[in-house]
Amino acid sequence: MRRVRLLLIGFGNVGQAVAELLLAKDGDIRSMHGLALQVVGIGTASHGAALDSDGLNLGRALELIQTGSDLRRLSRDPVPSDVQELLQAVEAEALLESIPVNYESGQPAVTYLTGALERGMHAITANKGPVVHAFAPLTALAASRGRQFRFEAAVMDGAPLFSLWRECLPGARLQAFRGILNSTTNLILSLMEQGQSFAAAVAEAQRLGIAESNPAGDTEGWDSAIKVAALVTVLMGVPIGLGQVERRGIEGLTDREIQQASQSGHRWKLVCGAKRIGDQVEARVEPELLDSSDPLFHVMGTSAAVTFTSDVLGELTIRENAPGPRTTAYGMLADLLNCVLPAARAFDWFASNRRG
Ligand SMILES: NC(=O)c1ccc[n+]([C@@H]2O[C@H](COP(=O)([O-])OP(=O)(O)OC[C@H]3O[C@@H](n4cnc5c(N)ncnc54)[C@H](OP(=O)(O)O)[C@@H]3O)[C@@H](O)[C@H]2O)c1
């Protein structure tokens, strides 16, 4: 059994879901892949950091964080004073980073991911900031160290978008995409269609834990826009920032407009899209009034979908139903396994099962 030591930075909704998934999938990962995944370090902003080179007790870490306690109590090795010190002290094969997005700079996540790669770890993130602000340098640094920078969970949670293009569509050229990429606004619009006010729908999204206490990042379209920038940068090979995505959110839509649309068989959706125009890409996020012939019309609640148009496959749609932190956690786990398993090994278990 090969031991793979992991560092988690960020232990909120996503970091905790990663810990829960590691506990739940431990048996499968051992039997399918011969790997024992072990978290040896956890870093947070205000709940301290923990380090134990023999492996932290993840169940206890979850108990501590969920009761508002400090993680330092878990440390058996000297307690790092901050996340930077943790990064320097830990001996791990991969960093799984899930701290809040910084739209302007991607920091401090970019610094953490850089530090991890420099120390010989794979760098895995659920955070869109580093993808948009540092895709090229982090990818180059990873390559120079024989490691990988992966970020599957940054857009559409665990749904394989980046991996699909990286592993399955060699030589294909992405010409355009169109989709619903923000769960919070899609839920708010679905609830408003059922008669709730904007404020009540936002409150419900917050109660479910999917909207931030300040929901402007979602409702003003910033989250959608940074996801569009990430897809354009990585999949279309045209690095763009947030400023190059034409952006309008849903905050201007009135209850009356949404009810009127519904009565006439239409639906407002916050639609993301990009298309190539010569060497450039035109990218946008804006509310669109859709009729029932549009595939996005049927994407309701927290679900999301994207249709890719390529030169070889025409239109190809990926849709995820009711995602959440657990699906995001799976995106990070899949990245990790894809980093540490030789490519062919990922399918050994299936092959031997078929033979058996
Ligand atoms: N929630 C989802 O379903 C989802 C889906 C896809 C992608 N994402 C992305 O995943 C990331 C995390 O989301 P989340 O919902 O888990 O956020 P969250 O619940 O707010 O948790 C953030 C975690 O990061 C820690 N943190 C904050 N600033 C830090 C810093 N400067 N250095 C070290 N740690 C820091 C926090 O520490 P404290 O515990 O001390 O506050 C907390 O543990 C975001 O980038 C988000 O966009 C989330």
Determine the residue of 7, 8, 13, 187 to mutate for testing ligand 1's pocket, defined as the one with the most ligand atoms within 8 A of the Cβ atom: 13
Residue 232 pLDDT greater than 50, yes or no: yes
**CB-ligand 1 contact for 205 (6 Å cutoff):** no
Q: What is the pLDDT of residue 324?
A: 86
Please report the pLDDT score of residue 209 as a whole number: 72
Q: Determine how β-strand 122-125 pairs with β-strand 149-150.
A: parallel
Question: 48: Cβ below 6 Å to ligand 1?
Answer: no
| Ligand 1 mean position, distance from CA 12 (Å) | 5
pLDDT at position 213 over 80: no
Mean pLDDT of 174-199: 96
* Distance in Å, CA 127 to ligand 1 centroid: 8
Q: Does 356 score more than 80 pLDDT?
A: no
Any ligand 1 atom below 6 A from CB of 157? yes
- Full strand arrangement of the beta sheet holding 174-180: 245-247, 280-291, 266-277, 174-180, 304-310, 314-320
pLDDT in tens, 324-351: 899 999 999 999 999 999 765 555 555 5
The arithmetic mean of pLDDT across residues 17-44, rounded, is 97
pLDDT bucket at 40, cuts 50 / 70 / 90? very high
- pLDDT, tens only, 112-146: 999 999 999 999 999 999 999 999 999 999 999 99
Q: Is the CB of 325 under 6 A from ligand 1?
A: yes
45 Cα: distance to centroid of ligand 1 (angstroms): 9
Confidence of residue 77 (pLDDT cuts 50, 70, 90): confident
Q: Is 47 in the pocket of ligand 1 (CB under 6 A)?
A: yes
pLDDT of residue 140: 97
Lowest average pLDDT, out of 84-88, 158-162, 198-202, 209-213, goes to 209-213
Sign of the CA dihedral with 23 first, then 28, 31, and 36 last: negative
User: What domains can you pick out in the chain, each with its CATH number?
Assistant: 2-158+326-355 (3.40.50.720), 168-322 (3.30.360.10)
The answer, yes or no, to whether any atom of ligand 1 lies below 6 A from the CB of 302, is no
The pLDDT of residue 343: 66
